[in-house]
Amino acid sequence: MSKRPRKPSKPLLIDENLPLQSRRVRRRDPEQPHLPFDPMPDRVEPCLALLKSKPPQGDEWSYEIKWDGYRIAVHIEPNRIRIITRGGHDWTHRFPGIADAAKALGPVTMILDGEAVMLDEQGRSDFGLLQKSLGASGKAAGKLPSRDSILYAFDLLYLDGHDLRGLEYSARRHLLEDALDEPGGTIRVSEEFNADPDDLLAHACRLGLEGIIAKHRDRPYRSGRTGDWLKIKCIQSDSFAIIGYEPSTALPGAIASLLLGARYRDGYKYVGSVGTGFKHDEARRLKKMLDKIKTRLPVDKVPGKNLVMTGPMYVAEIEYRAWTNDGKLRHASFKGLRDPDDVSEIYRLPG
């Protein structure tokens, strides 16, 4: 039995002088059945940057600005948005603006890795502004949403049914830029800079930024502090436990300085005090908070008189220039309290 002759097709109407173009690739619908999707993980332990004194050189490294805020992962699903902190807490209710912007991205499933920040008038991320917006100290701790915060997304871990963590960073970065192609909104791509890293770091320091991040282009996404990502800071900033305070003699009902402790072996060790970075109202509020957790148990030998010791319940983010020879912080400044529901890793001393 012979086949019917095929109807002649219409000639292709192509101008040979025009470049070839293809239609935009449509994303697969994650709700279609019988497709080999990777399940979206409930939570991804974040990749953390290893601190280095100098940026690495080489074409295998990518460079961007280090943002000063809260590390979050935004899980976008067809019927819900979840914003998960580095510590695994659900803070969707605390970043409603970011959640609304994520919902507006359309029918897509993805996990964005990034930093929730507040920008000052010069466009610099300001941890103190973010803490004030969140009400992360005093009676308002853990209750206020931050409506003006934005997300700087710097990695894409999952997209439309595909787990991307096994891909090299350069491929994930390309997909991220395609997924978020509208600059200037509440969710933005953290810009990648094609510049000499030493010059980029110097420029960041001149602008008063915290530093830069270097990422190895050929590495998959690996949780923990593996060395795939490096951070190079202009000014050191770490989290320390508050182990007491020195009362103010000039301002009644306020603190003069906070006593700071770092993790050491199975306990804490005194690493100095901080007496700058907070205003009068905050100095009074800190004293009221700390007076509720007074203790007679000394953490370590702490020099000074009329000191009030407390349990290490609260954690402060401290900016400092260096360490002294006897293991104390030099030129420390108080940036804010870390949220009690999501305490970052407290600085650990070797030994």
Task: Please state the domain extents for the chain.
Answer: 50-233, 236-337
What confidence score (pLDDT) does residue 138 get?
40
- CATH level 2 (architecture), domain 50-233: 2-Layer Sandwich (3.30)
What confidence score (pLDDT) does residue 322 get?
82
Q: What are phi and psi of 194, to 5 degrees?
A: -95, 80
Distance separating alpha carbons of residues 277 and 71, to the nearest angstrom: 23
Q: Helix, strand, or coil here: 50?
A: strand
Percent pLDDT > 70 in the chain is 85
pTM, 2 dp? 0.74
Provide CB contacts within 8 A for 17, sequence distance 6+.
none
Q: Would residue 151 be called left, alpha or beta, if left means φ above 0 and alpha means ψ between -120 and 50 degrees? A: beta
Q: What are phi and psi of 289, to 5 degrees?
A: -65, -45
Confidence of residue 338 (pLDDT cuts 50, 70, 90): confident
CATH number for the domain running over 236-337: 2.40.50.140
Q: Which residue has the tokens 């923990």?
A: 224
Mean pLDDT, the chain, whole residue set: 86
Q: Helix, strand, or coil here: 175?
A: helix
pLDDT digits (tens, 9 = 90+) for 324-337: 888 999 889 999 99
Question: Of residues 66, 215, 233, 287, which has the active-site annotation?
Answer: 66
Which helix (H) or strand (E) segment holds residue 323: the answer is strand 322-323
What confidence score (pLDDT) does residue 237 get?
86
Lowest mean pLDDT among 17-26, 186-195, 300-309: 17-26
Q: Quick one: average pLDDT of 2-25?
A: 48
Give the dihedral of Cα atoms 205, 241, 342, 266; nearest 10 deg.
120
What confidence score (pLDDT) does residue 100 get?
95
Active-site residue flag, 279: no
